[in-house]
Structure 1
Amino acid sequence: MNNKKLDSFQFNHQVFSVTSLTKEDTEDKTYWLHKSPRDRLIALEYLRQIMYSYDPNTTRLQRVFEIAQLPPR
């Protein structure tokens, strides 16, 4: 994913609404159905990074070293 695109997203805390999840036709559903699959994945990745406080620029894989004893030949 392109991180530059993710940086362009901003969350506006003043504009927030709670709706029922049982409504079948919502503005949100219509909005996201008109977006390309790529745009949906970019938004999903952004939400994942917010939820889990994940920063791909600073997070690295944990390095684990293990010494394995081989049987003598």
Structure 2
Amino acid sequence: MTVRHVRMNRQAVDVTSLDEQEGSDLAYWLSRTAAERIEALELLRQVHFGYDPARDCLLRAAKVVDGSRG
């Protein structure tokens, strides 16, 4: 899954402090499969680091260095 396949309903998001939360996020995530948890983690990573499919390539070239010298 990539970020471009996901849309967020901003009206459904409620930002609160950890002290104000009701219920248990832990119980929700433990009810999900391992694959669903990893998929959600990957989505968060892509959002956080600004994933851009157009830049989905190496940005630097590798240089082979001869390590046989001293």
The TM tier, using the shorter chain, reads 0.5 to 0.7
Q: Does residue 33 of structure 1 match 2:35? A: no
Structure 2 residue 9 is the aligned partner of structure 1 residue 12 = yes
Deviation track 1:26-65 (CA, whole Å, cap 9, x = no partner) reads 3432211100111011011011111211135641112425
CA distance 1:27–1:60, change in 2 (3 Å):
same
Aligned length: 67
Matched, 1:54 2:51: yes
- Please give the TM-score of this superposition, normalised by the length of structure 2: 0.61
Larger mean CA deviation between 24-33 and 34-43 belongs to 24-33
Distance 1:25 1:15, change over 3 A: closer
**What is the CA–CA distance in structure 2 between the aligned matches of 1:27 and 1:65, rounded to whole Å?**
46
Q: Determine which structure has the larger helix proportion and give its number.
A: 2
Q: C-alpha root-mean-square deviation of aligned residues, in Å?
A: 3.3
Q: Report the identity percentage.
A: 34
Structure 1 regions of 5+ residues with no counterpart? none
Match for 1:42 among 30, 39, 47? Answer: 39
Q: Within 1, Cα distance between the matches of 2:32 and 2:19?
A: 22
Q: Which has the higher contact order (CA 8 A, sep 6+)?
A: 2
Q: Distance in 2 between matches of 1:31 and 1:55?
A: 29
